[in-house]
Amino acid sequence: MDIKKYLNDKKEAVDSFLHKYYKEQRRPTLLQEAMLYCLFAGGKRIRPVLAIASYGACGGKSDEIIPYASALEMIHTYSLIHDDLPAMDNDDLRRGKPTSHKVYGEAVAILAGDALLTDAFSLLSDTTFCHTIKETDLMKALHEISIASGSLGMVAGQAQDILSENSIPDKKILQFIHIHKTRALICASVKLGCILAGSKPDKLEAISSYGSGIGLAFQVVDDILNIEGDAKEMGKAAGSDAKINKMTYPSLYGVEKSRQISKNLISDAINSIASFSSEADSLREIALYLLNRRN
Amino acid sequence: MDIKKYLNDKKEAVDSFLHKYYKEQRRPTLLQEAMLYCLFAGGKRIRPVLAIASYGACGGKSDEIIPYASALEMIHTYSLIHDDLPAMDNDDLRRGKPTSHKVYGEAVAILAGDALLTDAFSLLSDTTFCHTIKETDLMKALHEISIASGSLGMVAGQAQDILSENSIPDKKILQFIHIHKTRALICASVKLGCILAGSKPDKLEAISSYGSGIGLAFQVVDDILNIEGDAKEMGKAAGSDAKINKMTYPSLYGVEKSRQISKNLISDAINSIASFSSEADSLREIALYLLNRRN
C-alpha cells in the first residue's frame, strides 16, 4: 500500500470535517480564531489517522468514524496550546509558527485550549453521527479517551514533566512521563477505532498492545529527532530539549540504545496484531512510518 | 421543608462522593493536592444539589445521581481555577483563601483545572454507577453538559468577559456573558437530573425554563452581592467588580432594577414548574434561597 497517500487521504478527511464543524462563526471572534489557528497549524493528524486505521483493521466500514477520530485532534491540540504557555514550557514557536499565546495573548490561549478539550467531548457524545456505530460503544470509547487525557493520563504526564525539571535524571520518572503524556492518548486513539468497530475483547487487547508499543516509540523517536532532526523539518531548533536539560531517552540511554528501544517497541507492536488480516496493513505501515519519520 | 437541611444533606453526599473518588493517591502529588485544594475550598455545591433536586422532582428515586451530579462541581471548580489565573481575572483570593496559582504556581493550577474538567467527563461516562439510569440517557446528559461548558457555552462567556474589559457598557454583551458564563452550566445541571430520571420532552422543557431563570438570576444576585454583600460572608471584598470597571447588572440597570429583574426571573422559574408535584418543592425552595442568599 502507498502509506503516504493513505496518511494524506485520511488527514484530508479529518481536516475537512474539522473545517465544517467550526465553519459557523457562533463564538466570540478572537476565541474562534485562536481555536482554528491552532487546529490548523500543520499537524499530521496522527491520532485521528490511527483511529481510522484501527477502525478499518477491526472491520469498520463507514466514514462514521471521521467525526469521532477528529475529536482526538482537538484534545491533542488543546494539550499543545497549554504546554506551550509561559507558565509551562514557555515556547514561542510550534511547527515553525508563533504559538497561540504569542498571537492571541495568554488568556485567549488558555480559553482556546479549554474550549477544544470540552468540544472534543461534545463531539464524542454527539450521536447524530452514529448510524452503524452503537451508542454504548461510543460511550465506552469516550470513557477510554477521558481516562487517557485526565488526571490519570496525559495531565499527570505533563504535571510530572513540569515538576521534574532540573531534577536528577531517573529512568522510572522518564517512563512515567512518556507513558502518560504521549502513550496514553495514542493508545486510546487506536482503542477508539477498535471499540467503535464493535470489536470483541481479544481484538481490543491486541490493539491495546499495538497502541502501547507505537505510543511509547513515538515519543522515543521524538526525543531522538530533537537531537538529530533537521530544524527546518522539525519546525523548531534541534537540541532544544538538551538546552533546557530535559529528561529524554537519548539523555538517559544514549542515542543508539534509544534507537534500538524504539525499533523493538515497533516490532512488538506489529507482532501484537499478527493475527489480523490484510485490513490491518495500514496499522503495520503506520508503525514503520512512525519509526522512520524525519519530523 | 427545611431547605437549609436539604442543601446541607445533599452537599455532604456530594462531598463524601468526591472524597472517595479522589481518595487514592495515584497522581503526581502536587497535582492531586491542587485538585483537592480547589475542590474542597468551601463551595456550596449549588450545581450538584440542583441536579439532585431536579432528579427527585422528575421522579428519580436512587442515589445513582450523586456521582454524575458531583461531576458538575468538578467542571465548576476547573472554571474558577482558570478564571482566577493571572492572565485572566488575576484573583489572589477565592472564598477567603489564596487561589490555586498562589499556592501551587501557575503551571500546576492550569493542569489542576485541565484535570478536573477532563475527569468530569470520565465520571459522566462511567456506566458502573448506572443501575436504573439508562446509558443512552447518560450520554444525552453528558452531551448537554459538554455543550454548556465548551466554546458555545461557558468558555464563550468567559472569553467575552475578558475581551470586554474596559469596553463601553452594553446590555447585549452583558447578557451574552451572563447567559454563557453562568446560566449555561446551571441550566445544564437541572437538565442532567431531569434527563437521568428518564423524563419526557415536555418535562425537560419545563425544567429547562426553570434552569434558565434561576441560572441568570443567580448571576444577577451575585452582581448585587458584589456591591452590597458583607466581605466576610462573601469571602472577598465588596465592590471588587466596580473597582475593575466590570460590566454588571447593577452597573447597567442600577441596584433596584437589578433586584426586580432577579425577582421576576425567580418567579418565572417557579411558575414554569407549576405543574410538577410536591416532589419539586426542593426546586421551588432552592429558587427562593438563591434569590435571598447573602453569599
Grouped pLDDT means (10 residues each) for chain A, 295 residues: 95 98 94 97 95 98 96 98 96 93 98 98 97 97 98 98 90 97 98 98 98 98 87 62 80 96 98 97 98 89
> Considering only CB atoms, which chain A residues are within 8 Å of B18?
none
Q: Does B36 touch chain A (CB under 8 A)?
A: no
More reliable by pLDDT, A263 or B295: A263
Please report which residue ranges of B150-280 form alpha helices under DSSP H: 154-163, 171-178, 184-196, 201-228, 231-234, 240-243, 249-253, 255-272
Distance from CA of B272 to the nearest CA of A (A): 28
> Does residue B232 carry a pLDDT above 70?
no
Q: Are A248 and A239 in contact (CB under 8 A)?
A: no
Which pLDDT does position A285 carry in this prediction?
98
More reliable by pLDDT, B229 or A76: A76
Distance from CA of B277 to the nearest CA of A (A): 32
Domains of chain B, start order: 3-286 (1.10.600.10)
CA angle (A166, A147, A72) in 5-degree steps:
90
Q: What is the ipTM of this complex?
A: 0.97
Nearest to A129 by CA among A40, A209, A63: A63
Angle between helical axes of B201-228 and B184-196 (0-180°, round to 10): 150
- Which residue among A82, A126, A139 sits closest to B125, beta carbon to beta carbon? A139
Distance from CA of B143 to the nearest CA of A (A): 5
> Considering only CB atoms, which chain B residues are within 8 Å of A140?
127
Distance from CA of B256 to the nearest CA of A (A): 31
* Cα A294 to Cα B226: distance, rounded to the nearest angstrom: 56
Q: How many residues does chain B have?
A: 295
Which pLDDT does position A5 carry in this prediction?
97
* Cα B196 to Cα B133: distance, rounded to the nearest angstrom: 6
Q: Does A129 touch chain B (CB under 8 A)?
A: no
| Confidence at B246, pLDDT banded by 50, 70, 90 | confident
Residue A93: which H helix or E strand, with range?
strand A93-94
Which pLDDT does position B167 carry in this prediction?
87
Which pLDDT does position B231 carry in this prediction?
57
Q: Does B136 touch chain A (CB under 8 A)?
A: yes
- Which residue among B30, B126, B162 sits closest to A143, beta carbon to beta carbon? B126
Which pLDDT does position A25 carry in this prediction?
86
Q: What is the mean pLDDT of residues B116-120?
A: 98
| Contact flag A159-B26 (C-beta cutoff 8 Å) | no
> Both ends of chain B: CA-CA distance in Å?
21
Nearest to A220 by CA among A274, A183, A169, A270: A183
Would you put residue B169 in left (φ > 0), alpha (ψ -120 to 50) or beta?
beta
> Considering only CB atoms, which chain A residues are within 8 Å of B143?
122, 125-127
Beta bridge partners of residue A98, listed in sequence order: A93
Would you put residue A21 in left (φ > 0), alpha (ψ -120 to 50) or beta?
alpha
Q: Does B149 touch chain A (CB under 8 A)?
A: yes
| Confidence at B198, pLDDT banded by 50, 70, 90 | very high
> Does residue B186 carry a pLDDT above 90?
yes
List all residues of chain A from 151 to 190 with a beta carbon under 8 Å from chain B.
151-152, 155-156, 158-160, 162-163
Which pLDDT does position A246 carry in this prediction?
81
Q: CB-based burial of residue A241 (10 Å sphere; 0-12 exposed, 13-18 middle, 19+ buried)?
A: middle
Which pLDDT does position B227 carry in this prediction?
87
Which pLDDT does position B71 carry in this prediction?
98
* Cα B200 to Cα A207: distance, rounded to the nearest angstrom: 40
* Cα B58 to Cα B280: distance, rounded to the nearest angstrom: 8
Beta bridge partners of residue B93, listed in sequence order: B98
> Does residue B143 carry a pLDDT above 60?
yes
